[in-house]
Chain A
Amino acid sequence: MNTAVLSVRDLVVEIPTRNGVLRPVDQVSYDIAPGEILGVVGESGAGKSMTGNAVIGLLDPPARITGGEIHVSGQRIDNLPREALRRLRGRKIGMIFQDPLTSLNPLLTVGEQLTETIREHLDVSESEALNRAVAALDEVGIPAARQRIGSYPFEFSGGMRQRVVIALALCAEPELVIADEPTTALDVSVQAQIVALLKRLCRDRGVAVMLVTHDMGVIAEAADRVAVMYAGRLAEIGPVRDVVSHPTHPYTAGLMASTPLASLGHNRLRQIPGAMPRLEALPDGCAFHPRCAYAEDTCRAEPGPSIETCGGRAACWFPLSHDEQEGAA
């Protein structure tokens, strides 16, 4: 897997607290190839944002990486000193946050924010930087980019602001973009615009994208592969079609079945009993076992082993076969 832009191996993030050490991310491994969109889904507290923040080095202390390796285009980055990591951020890795208003500086025009980022990372003159800034805004579909470059963030609508954030993430031509819930704060019609934009940029530029979201619909439409997280661990990873239509891990199957779908009509939704355990009180063995219909003693004693599925991996002792799903559905 030398070609992968991002390669995460056995990543562990720990938070020391008075009552012991919490592990919001535990033994997570995955790769993203150039031009690929990897969707990361899970419910709140599953560790999906924490994984993204760990990759870009934005973990809030006392959370820290205590195990594993992160490579970006072959270079190991998790043990870099702060200054080197700061230069890497923006240059090699771009970040798109959920709330476009809080991730832009309200006191600077979008042009100033873009040229600052470009000149920080690329060796270009001021006028060249300005030209690139206009081109970047143009590319993300902001009309009359040259006039709008002197506007402040509050003068843009929510969807336009998110476009500015995307332009900002892409202006130094990074190889990897981490998008953390980029459409959650937006309306459906604007969300469709932003998802289409992300897909186009990813295809045109060959950027690898890690798309963190809780919306299965967005994942199904945008992602090539999907990773499902539960209580800090990777429950399942694989091509999006297989994971959504033929989930192997009982948690993935439950997640898909609880999403309201057109065909179900007024029938009852399938629900997963209980709720995700808190990090302070993770059950032994497979963290999903108290909610799992297939759990046996092995599950209570040891976490699920990594098994091969069609095109992916799942961490489960008793993975679902396709016949069982037909029966359950």
Chain B
Amino acid sequence: MSALISVKNLTRVFDVSKPWLNRVIERKPKAFLTAVSDVSFEVPENSVYALVGESGSGKSTIGKIIVGLVPPTSGSVEVNGVDLSASKNTADIARVRSDIQMIFQDPYASLNPRWRVRDIIAEPVTVLGGETEGLAERLLEQVGLSAADAHEYPHEFSGGQRQRLCIARALASEPKMIVCDEPTSALDVSVQAQVLNLMSDLREEFGLTYLFISHDLTVVQHVADMIGVLYLGSLVEEAPRDTLFSTPKHPYTRMLFDAAPRMDGFGREVDPPKGEIPDPINPPSGCTFHPRCPLAVDRCRTERPEMRRIGETRVSCHMAE
């Protein structure tokens, strides 16, 4: 399988300094937040790659960089061999852009309330000057709504139906790849099941590739082929789904699995994880997980672990074997 997306040494730093006058008065230096730090991975065609992590782990930033909403500070993202942030060939960029679409978390905020559903869904094609006759109606039926809904405004739909509208819009330009940023976390469980089933049907029908960003391990376990675990901007572990869930190698992945509530965990007494995610503006030295890690040794405090391959797993931990 060839890689549809290949992310190499991706880093994104945000300047979170106070305004210069405040810095002068308070004698504070500039502050930088490293949201994504040296992340590399590849997404093969027609697969589902999931990024999981807690808040502040950089998962949404990676999604935005891939669709080109945020430029990377260093490193590159190649989609079908085209680097969106560096390429000068406008024809290439236009082609790649229509190959990637995004579905956002909040279906209330991501649909323009003043536009009719037909215009919302057809927009990705309209901007490229394509033919939109009957397009919205066809897509509406594909996502399980009715063609007559094309006249309506978004407020007439429930949360799950709105997320279906977002999926229809994402499909309009016939993309190869859809970046889904927490597509179901605003939805109720029974509606979540409907949307996840729809997404897996569409994947088979159109041969889509998904980059699935989520914090919900049970959802990720259900949908993903390959899973990357992020902690404080770094990829700490990457493995095929079954390998990751049966033999997690990084202590953070293990902690995350232990902490996640389970449907069959009646009265389970968990030993809750120690500590919290550190301040990303001033992250710990060496391996960023070492203050919370039960296995940490002196080496972890000073030296940042490289990504190593162990069997099917890639893991960045000095102690993993």
Least CB distance from A323 to B in Å reads 21
Residue from B55, B222, B262 within 8 A of A221 (CB atoms): B262
Residues from chain A with a CB closer than 8 A to the CB of B86 are none
- Kindly provide the distance from the CB of B219 to the nearest chain A CB, expressed in whole angstroms: 5
- Which residues from chain A sit less than 8 Å from chain B, CB to CB? 43-44, 157, 159-160, 187-193, 195-197, 199, 214-218, 220-221, 240-241, 244, 254-256, 258-262, 264-266, 268-272, 275-276
The minimal Cβ–Cβ distance linking A235 to chain B, given in whole angstroms, is: 13
In the complex, are the beta carbons of A217 and B54 less than 8 A apart?
A: no
Q: In the complex, which residues of chain A have a beta carbon less than 8 angstroms from the beta carbon of B217?
A: 188
Q: What separation, in Å, do the CA atoms of A68 and B261 have in the docked complex?
A: 35
Please name the residue on chain A nearest to B198 by beta carbon.
A271
Q: Which 3 A-B pairs have the closest CB atoms?
A: A217-B261, A258-B193, A192-B259
In Å, the complex CA distance between A260 and B255 comes to: 20
Binds A, one of B94-102, B129-137, B168-176, B264-272: B264-272
Q: Contact between A260 and B219 (Cβ–Cβ < 8 Å)?
A: yes
Are A261 and B263 in contact, with the CB atoms below 8 A?
yes
Contact between A260 and B272, CB atoms less than 8 A apart: no
B190 is contacted by which of A192, A196, A197, A254 (Cβ under 8 Å)?
A: A254
Q: Which of B238-268 contact A (CB under 8 A)?
A: 245, 255-256, 258-268
**A195 CB → nearest B CB, Å:** 7
Other-chain contact of A187, B158, B263, B269, B277 (Cβ < 8 Å) = B277
Question: Which one of B188, B200, B272 lies within 8 Å of A192 (CB-CB)?
Answer: B272
Q: Judging by beta carbons under 8 Å apart, are A192 and B221 in contact?
A: no
Q: How far is the CB of A167 from chain B (nearest CB, A)?
A: 17
B3 at interface by CB-CB < 8 Å: no
A217 pairs with B262, CB closer than 8 A = yes
Decide: A269 near B197, CB < 8 A? Known: A221-B267, A261-B218: yes
Number of residue pairs A-B, CB distance < 8 angstroms: 125
Instruction: List CB contacts (< 8 Å) of B273-303 with chain A.
Output: 273, 276-277
The answer to whether A188 touches B222 (Cβ under 8 A) is no
Q: Is the CB of A255 within 8 A of B189?
A: yes
Asked whether, in the complex, the Cβ of A220 is within 8 Å of the Cβ of B197, the reply is: no
Can you list 17 A-B contacts (CB < 8 A)?
Answer: A160-B276, A188-B217, A188-B256, A189-B256, A192-B273, A193-B272, A197-B272, A199-B269, A215-B261, A218-B261, A244-B264, A244-B266, A258-B189, A260-B193, A261-B222, A262-B262, A265-B222
Closest chain B residue, CB of each to CB of A197: B272
A residues in contact with B318, CB < 8 Å: none
Interface string of B210-248 (1 = CB under 8 A from A): 000001011101110000000000000000000001000
Asked, given contacts A220-B265, A260-B196, whether A271 binds B218 with beta carbons under 8 Å apart, the answer is: no
Give the Cβ gap from B308 to chain A, nearest Cβ, in Å. 24
Nearest B residue to A185 by beta-carbon distance?
B55
